[in-house]
Amino acid sequence: MKNIIINKKIFLIFLIVFMISAVKANLLIYNFNTSVENDASINNNEIIRSEEILIQINTDKEGVCKYSTNKGKSYTNMEGNFEYDYNAVHKMTLTDLNEGIYKYYIKCRDKNNIESKELEIIFSVYLGVSAKIVIEQGEILNEGKIEVKLITSKIVSQPPVLSYSLDSTSYANIPLIGEKTEWKGYFILPKLDDEKVGSFKFSARDLEGNIGTEISEGELFIVDSVKPSTIYDLRATGRDGVIDLNWILDEEIEDFNLYRSISPDVQKSDFYKMVAGKSYIDTNVERGKTYYYKISGIDEAGNEGDLSIEVYATALLDSTSVIPSGLDLRFYGIIDSLKNEIDMTIEESNSIKEKFKQRPEIERTIYVDFKLERDIDSAINELDALIKEIDNYKTQNLDKNEIDKKLNNAKLKFNTIKKKIPENLFLIDEKAIEKTFNDEDLTKLILSLDPLVEISFLTKKIKKINEIAKNDEFKVKIEGKNLEISYLDGTRKKYALIKEKISGKLENNENNSIIEIIPSSIEEKISNIDIKNVNYEILNEEGIVSFDHNTKEISYSFEKNIDLNNLEDIKTLPYIDLQDQKSNSALTGYLSFVTTKDNSFFGIVIGLIFASFLLIYLFLDRKKRKIEENLFLMRKKIHNTREKIIEGMKNDAIKSYSLISQEYKSLGNREKRAIYGEIEELYRKIKEN
């Protein structure tokens, strides 16, 4: 009964979300006189505030219409067909729209095969700030402290306002902390007598001052404080060196707490382990010893049921149940029916593998890159094991209810396995570019890995990298593909694959490597990137990955589609791990020379004079390098402050400027003259913003 209530509430959530998404779609209706080009009655100033739009064209004649995003195409060459095209009414739906101006060109062909003039429709899309809400504990929550994350679709000018309600009437505010688009907060859920559906409200103001209130994901959640039912059907069977435990609970619960003791009256303090499924084989037993057990169910919200009845068994000696004599023959049919269905799925999986091998080369390459054959083989092995498990039911003495429970669990496993079997893949779009590198790319990389590197060593390192890369021989061809994979259970997932081919040969040295910088425009979190290479090292969480110097191909993917124009932001660079070593003192070397080769007084005097000049030179050179280092660090801080101004973080920029001003006062006159103009320009930019 408890699961029925929860399932109804989940259904209610999906129903409400569906209704909300249906309301979001905008409808534009145009009347098209097919004999007139660019009908003057068309309103070209429509502003759409949604990612979806339904366009309806009403023509003065019956016919079939097509559309294109390019002007002047013939009817035959137009790439778009209307989803609904009946008589004089024609409809098409556009989804996943971004902000901007859209133009579509429409032509129709009537019953006499006469092509119409061209209709141009123009509309603008403006998307206000919206929010995605993520709760770490999942969709079904228990009582206690709840952490909530809020991700806005745009950078907001001030912290968003978020509140929650358990009755859709009174809302309590949730304080948020964060910056830009990522925010976090906490709220407390009380213990409830029954399940409830909770909801969030949100509002935020973008940098243009527009207020948005839409929650694109995570608007609703379920609060479940009701514990699972008590398990009354628990059985323990002692065998050779193990004890089999089986239980029945008429609720869809996968996790259970197992309690064990070597004496009767098992308590919660006797917790043994958490187990999954509705059976367990306890192998951690001593032969001839008796063990007592109780069990409790754990639901998705973390609620634990009361302890079950107590059972016991002895390893090598069955204390509680009769050895099964086998399944009633009348139940064989339903077992064989499920086995046959699984066998057919195995055959279908093998057929899918063969079909992939016959697909076009580009799809076969993706099939190999994503290791889809490995996924299919793994699923086939799981299906074979499931058949053996089901066949074993025939050796057990089970009644109708027991065999139904076991087969229902087997069907759940079967459906879960089918979710892992890729059935088809669809290439959405692709792009390839060729790139080299320059000194600016190398400078940014070295500063990312070592912000305090000395200028002289930075220059030396860049020169050395150019040498090992043999100048312009190091080139990279980057291929990006967006695709969608459908699975045997009907689900579809979007992916992006990036594959790079590296030409040019680095020197064979263990200090040499190839560095890949994956920008945030491609993927913000390194943990979301599936790197296909075997030998690699993640250098930091900002998307910097190191590969062996012999690497000729780099490949990685994401579980989403990406903007392939952002391939330009990827940097693939040769690198060498030089140690910043200071040279030995020239003075020591020279004195050693003069004292060993010539012990005369004249040689010593000459050596001391030379050493004095050398000391003066080293002192002046060190002072010069110190000035350069100070100026370099100051310019880096000025650059970072400019970036804060561009990103709209004026308060942070003012704080940074204040620190720079204090450091400026401590500089020498020469350093002040060199940096004054840049500090003055920074001050003007802050005042202007």
Model pLDDT for residues 488-514, shown as the tens digit of each residue: 888 999 999 999 999 877 777 777 888
Distances, alpha carbon 379 to alpha carbons 348, 386, 391, 407, 549, in Å: 12, 11, 18, 19, 36
In this structure, the number of other CB atoms found within 10 A of the CB of residue 321 comes to 15
- Structural tokens at position 128: 């206000």
Instruction: Judge contact between 578 and 511, C-beta under 8 A.
Output: yes
Backbone angles phi, psi at 267, to 5 degrees: -115, 170
Report d(CA 310, CA 232) in Å as an integer. Answer: 9
* Whole-number pLDDT of residue 621: 54
| Strand partners of residue 501 | 477, 553
Q: Is the pLDDT of residue 309 over 50?
A: yes
* Whole-number pLDDT of residue 45: 64
DSSP letter, residue 191: P
Of residues 656 and 498, the one with the higher pLDDT is: 498
Q: Is the pLDDT of residue 320 over 60?
A: no
Report d(CA 218, CA 328) in Å as an integer. Answer: 49
In this predicted structure, which of 514-523, 524-533, 671-680 has the lowest mean pLDDT?
Answer: 671-680
| Strand partners of residue 479 | 432, 499
- Structural tokens at position 320: 């509680």
Report d(CA 562, CA 36) in Å as an integer. Answer: 40
Q: Which of 122, 121, 118, 123 is nearest to 33 (CA)?
A: 118
Model pLDDT for residues 91-140, shown as the tens digit of each residue: 999 988 888 889 999 999 998 999 999 999 998 888 889 999 999 877 78
Report d(CA 502, CA 475) in Å as an integer. Answer: 6
- Structural tokens at position 186: 């906490």
* Whole-number pLDDT of residue 256: 95
Q: Which of 245, 401, 417 is nearest to 321 (CA)?
A: 245
Of residues 607 and 134, the one with the higher pLDDT is: 134
Instruction: Judge contact between 547 and 532, C-beta under 8 A.
Output: no
In this predicted structure, which of 282-296, 395-409, 645-659 has the lowest mean pLDDT?
Answer: 645-659
Percent helix, strand and coil across the chain, each rounded to 5?
35, 35, 35
Instruction: Judge contact between 58 and 39, C-beta under 8 A.
Output: no
Identify residue 40 by its one-letter amino acid code.
A
Report d(CA 280, CA 273) in Å as an integer. Answer: 11
Strands 220-223 and 140-141: parallel
Identify residue 124 by its one-letter amino acid code.
S
Residue ranges with strand state E in 190-342: 196-205, 211-212, 214-217, 220-223, 233-238, 243-248, 255-261, 271-276, 279-282, 290-298, 311-314
| Strand partners of residue 161 | 203
Report d(CA 186, CA 101) in Å as an integer. Answer: 40
Report d(CA 586, CA 616) in Å as an integer. Answer: 12
Tell me what percent of the residues of the chain surpass a pLDDT of 90.
Answer: 30
Model pLDDT for residues 127-149, shown as the tens digit of each residue: 889 999 999 877 788 888 899 99
CA dihedral sign, ordered 155, 159, 165, 170: negative
Q: How many helices (H) and strands (E) does the chain have?
A: 11, 36
Range from 374-383, 531-540, 578-587 that averages highest in pLDDT:
374-383
- Structural tokens at position 630: 């100070």
Strands 89-94 and 311-314: unpaired
Of residues 179 and 192, the one with the higher pLDDT is: 179
Average pLDDT of every residue of the chain: 81
Residues in the chain: 689
Q: Looking at residues 321-336, what average pLDDT do you find? A: 60
Report d(CA 157, CA 633) in Å as an integer. Answer: 30
Q: How confident is the model at residue 536 (pLDDT cuts 50, 70, 90)?
A: confident
In this structure, the number of other CB atoms found within 10 A of the CB of residue 340 comes to 11
Q: Which of 441, 454, 457 is nearest to 632 (CA)?
A: 454
User: How would you classify residue 338: left for phi > 0, otherwise alpha for psi between -120 and 50, otherwise beta?
Assistant: alpha
The answer to whether the pTM exceeds 0.75 is no
Q: Looking at residues 219-244, what average pLDDT do you find? A: 85
Instruction: Judge contact between 559 and 494, C-beta under 8 A.
Output: yes
Q: Is the pLDDT of residue 688 over 90?
A: no
Instruction: Judge contact between 132 and 216, C-beta under 8 A.
Output: yes
